[in-house]
Chains A and B, each alone.
Chain A
Amino acid sequence: MKVSGGINELNSELEKAGRIADFMELAELMAYDANDRDESCGAHFREEYQTDEGEAMRNDEKYMYVGAWEFKGLDDKPDLHKEELIFDTVKPSVRSYK
């Protein structure tokens, strides 16, 4: 990585360089979660989970929750914390534009 300019001055290139680790970690987290979620839902689309017409195929029974991954150390797998989503009035259904 190349960072121009100095340390003891206003240097937006250095500011950007300082954020690279965050971007990589966030990307890794998103990929980890996407890999864990064996379904397609909204912006999360996995090719192996689609209808014959190419629409997202959800698995609400298994994945209808809000999730947060807890960091357990560099070499350990993170822990998944779930908050179930409960719909009282409007129930989720399959979206159709037909």
Chain B
Amino acid sequence: MNVTLKVWRQKDSVSKGNFETYQLADLNPEMSFLEMLDVLNEKLILENKIPVEFDSDCREGICGQCGMTINGRPNGHHHHTTTCQMHMRHFKDGDTIVVEPFRAQAFKVLKDLKVDRSGLDKIVQAGGFISTHTGSAPDANSLPIGKIDAEEAFNSAACIGCGTCIATCKNSSAALFTSAKISHLLTLPQGKPERTERVLNMVNAMDLEGFGSCTNTEACEMECPQEISVVNIAKMNFEYNRALLLKGL
């Protein structure tokens, strides 16, 4: 299949970017979107041009490293997918595809399609952990956790931290990401002792890193590759208000 690509090219975070148009012919429809970009880059290298920078790692939808805006939507027109799991068969022969980096004020463009998502790390550093003596792994059933709690915690912990929720949100809010981390730890006994400090610190970090506020449009859940539920956000808001009350703030 043949496609026309309009790819965002930006030298670095301070330079002005622009769209460049590329034609690709004879693509295999079974290629992933990233493999298609590999083909583009091989072509550019042979033409002595600079290849397109983009992030990728596992390429099987579990690491959260890849991510770009495809035709105006993070990871393309499929719900609940990462960019690497978009395949060329999801496009039509002759399509023009517009490729941009994730668009969010808190995600500075580093080069081309690569953005700086370290803000997410800062949020986790602010409280996405438990403080305990670590040693060898405890026995599996030394701390009984009910099935419902275990599943709920796992569903929240499934967040791969890709940033799709932020790129989708009109406010560039990191509420889904942050709340997934908070409810994951809140649901488990190990996370309970620090729940009050955690929610205050993480929500604060979210604001400091320049992410916007949540206005409950729920677009994040729609695009989230891991289908993280917005119920996490409601839990986070409850936890936040609880913490304010307890602290007398």
Chain A interface (Cβ < 8 Å from any Cβ of B): 2, 4-5, 9-10, 12-13
Main SS of the interface on chain A?
Answer: loop
Describe B's contact surface by its main secondary structure. Answer: loop
Contact B114 A13 (CB under 8 A): no
Contact partners of B12 in chain A: CB under 8 A? 9-10
A13 lies within 8 A of B11 (CB): no
The docked-state distance in angstroms from the alpha carbon of A10 to that of B13 is 10
Pairwise interchain contact B51-A10, C-beta atoms closer than 8 A: no
- Stretch in contact with the other chain, from B42-50, B66-74, B206-214, B225-233: B42-50
**What's the Cα separation between A5 and B114 when bound, in Å?**
15
Q: Which residues of A contact B53 (CB under 8 A)?
A: 10, 12
B37 within 8 A of A: no
Q: Does B110 interact with chain A (Cβ within 8 Å)?
A: yes
Residues of B within 8 A of A10 (CB): 12, 53, 110-111, 114
A-B contact pairs, 20 of them (CB 8 A): A2-B45, A4-B44, A4-B45, A4-B48, A4-B49, A4-B50, A4-B51, A5-B50, A5-B51, A9-B11, A9-B12, A9-B111, A10-B12, A10-B53, A10-B110, A10-B111, A10-B114, A12-B53, A13-B45, A13-B51
Min Cβ gap A34→B in Å is 28
Give the residues in chain A near B44, CB-CB below 8 Å.
Answer: 4
Residues on A with beta carbons closer than 8 Å to the beta carbon of B48:
4
- Who on chain A is nearest to B54 by CB? A12
